[in-house]
Amino acid sequence: MTEYSVGFSILLLGMLLLIGKFIRVKITLLQDLFLPSSVIAGFVALLLGPEVLGNIVNLTDVFHWSEAGLFPKHSLETWGYLPALMINVVFAALFLGKKLPTLSKVWNLAGPQIVLGYIFSFGQYIVGLLLVIFFLTPVFGVDPLAGALIEIGFVGGHGTAAGLGDTFAEMGFEDGEALATGMATVGVLGGAIIGITLINWGVRKQKFQNKTEPQTRDDVEKKGLTELDQRPPAGHLSTKAESIEPLSLHFGYIALSIILGYGILQGLVWIESLTWGSATGVYLIEYVPLFPLAMVGGIIVQYVLDRIDVYKTLDPDLISRIQGFALDILIVSSLATLELAVIRDNIVPFTVLALGGIIWTVFVFRVLAPRILTSFWFERGIGDFGQSMGVAATGLLLMKVADPDNDTPALESFGYKQILFEPIVGGGLFTAASAPLIFQFGAVNILIFLSIITVALLIFGLLYFKKMRI
């Protein structure tokens, strides 16, 4: 692999993103499903790669550089490295540019949704572990680590699934990344389809408390485009280019966050090796990937900047653009290198886990959300449902449809929720450590542990928030 092959591989990703956007603009069904262009581009790459086209026809005689499918082998190798790198950028940027409120303010506004979000996520682990322990492992010989796939794929999404690939491999579950990525795809599709269905049901059954009708999008908005006279600025230039390019400055903030996270991770690994690791033989931190600690690094950078950056040089819009770019590259590259053979060979366990996760997530929304979110439960709960099926972006899309004018506290409380939610689950510390925990302590012990926590959260949520009105 040369520098030219690496550069060409990245250029191919850019071309695939353009193709994905063109397809989304032309096909109404994909617009109605809220599918991002990056997901479409990833599927195009998957279809043209070795897993699909390469298994149908042999193109070696036509394209000397092609061993399987339409793409060179070196491009597939390059794309295989990108998800584990880009996920660090995505998570490092998560809290950069966002004002960190006091924990009391977060809890007072978003407390019910924080509790409900943990019930969604921990329940997905419980469902997965129950299925693995009592059915999938005894019957199909599935690795117990598969009990973590639902939450990793649904709430964590493609980025987390790809980012945990090395972790799965280190613990001997080589199929974990492909199965988690497939689960993330099911989550994105299911979140959009089931979410819109639930919104239509809510309209018919008059479950909405806000007076604004759910949003119907015009043709331009469905295509994911913005009218020329309505386009917001992509970012504010906080520095002059003669000093430093603003984009470079913001990349520097993200880089510092990742380096801080790396330092924290290495420090924790060192502490573990000197303390409980050497004493008990149980090692967890060495299996934890970098990206959740990169998020912690971002929080530290933001905290320091809030106190010393008198010129407010950190612009959230520019950070969001860098984060979005990294996420698009991550999604395309992870889907392009998805091993369909792994899903095909595990189709029954994969389907059982996916259905179990969907049933649990719908149950929590329909049965528990009205009892924990005692005001505007539908408008707020549909965002939590979307996040629990297909990451935060799906939740935001569903809230925009259900509450287009922000007449309810749904959007604000959803945003505050992430401060006490994302650092733990949905790609946070527990998500990253879930597979190592199962690996070290066993599926049964983790099932008992999570069941106790989830029952406690459920009782607390039903009793504590009973009289709360937001």
Reported confidence tier of residue 32, pLDDT bands at 50, 70, 90: confident
Q: What is the pLDDT of residue 45?
A: 93
Could you read off the pLDDT of 82-96 as tens digits, one per residue? 988 998 998 899 889
Q: What is the pLDDT of residue 257?
A: 97
> Which SS3 state, helix, strand or coil, does residue 52 take?
coil
Could you read off the pLDDT of 361-407 as tens digits, one per residue? 999 999 999 999 978 899 999 999 999 997 777 887 788 778 877 78
Q: What is the pLDDT of residue 268?
A: 92
DSSP notation for 208-267 = --SSSPPP---HHHHTT---GGGPPPS----S-TTT--HHHHHHHHHHHHHHHHHHHHHH
Q: What is the pLDDT of residue 286?
A: 79
Flag whether pLDDT at 214 surpasses 70: no
Q: What is the mean pLDDT of residues 8-18?
A: 94
**Cα 191 to Cα 374: distance, rounded to the nearest angstrom:** 23
Could you read off the pLDDT of 417-449 as tens digits, one per residue? 888 898 899 888 899 899 999 999 999 999 999
Residue in the structure block whose two tokens are 């520095």: 239
Flag whether pLDDT at 467 surpasses 90: no
**Cα 97 to Cα 51: distance, rounded to the nearest angstrom:** 40
Query: What are the extents of the domains in the chain?
Result: 100-174+194-211+238-315+344-464
Among 212, 113, 176, 200, which residue's Cα sits nearest to residue 418?
113
Q: What is the pLDDT of residue 65?
A: 55
Max CA separation in the chain (angstroms): 72
Q: What is the pLDDT of residue 357?
A: 97
Flag whether pLDDT at 128 surpasses 60: yes
Query: Interhelix angle for 37-48 vs 316-336, to 10°?
Result: 20
Could you read off the pLDDT of 302-349 as tens digits, one per residue? 999 999 998 899 999 999 899 989 989 988 988 888 888 899 999 999
Q: What is the pLDDT of residue 205?
A: 82
Q: What is the mean pLDDT of residues 193-200?
A: 88
Among 69, 38, 66, which residue's Cα sits nearest to residue 51?
69
Whether residue 454 contacts residue 119, with contact meaning beta carbons closer than 8 Å, is answered with yes
Reported confidence tier of residue 289, pLDDT bands at 50, 70, 90: confident
Reported confidence tier of residue 469, pLDDT bands at 50, 70, 90: low
**Is residue 347 within a helix (H) or strand (E), and if so which, with residue range?**
helix 347-363
User: What is the pTM for the complete model shown?
Assistant: 0.81
Q: What is the mean pLDDT of residues 269-298?
A: 85
Flag whether pLDDT at 62 surpasses 60: no
- Which residues touch 417 (CB under 8 Å, ≥6 apart)? 106, 110, 113, 114, 117, 384
Flag whether pLDDT at 118 surpasses 80: yes
Could you read off the pLDDT of 70-86 as tens digits, one per residue? 888 888 889 988 988 99
Q: What is the pLDDT of residue 227?
A: 74
The mean of the pLDDT values for the chain is: 87
Could you read off the pLDDT of 162-185 as tens digits, one per residue? 889 889 999 999 999 999 999 998
Q: What is the pLDDT of residue 411?
A: 78
Q: What is the pLDDT of residue 241?
A: 84
Q: What is the pLDDT of residue 468?
A: 61
Rg (CA), the chain: 22
Flag whether pLDDT at 455 surpasses 60: yes
Q: How far is CA 379 from CA 234, 241, 391, in A?
A: 28, 43, 17
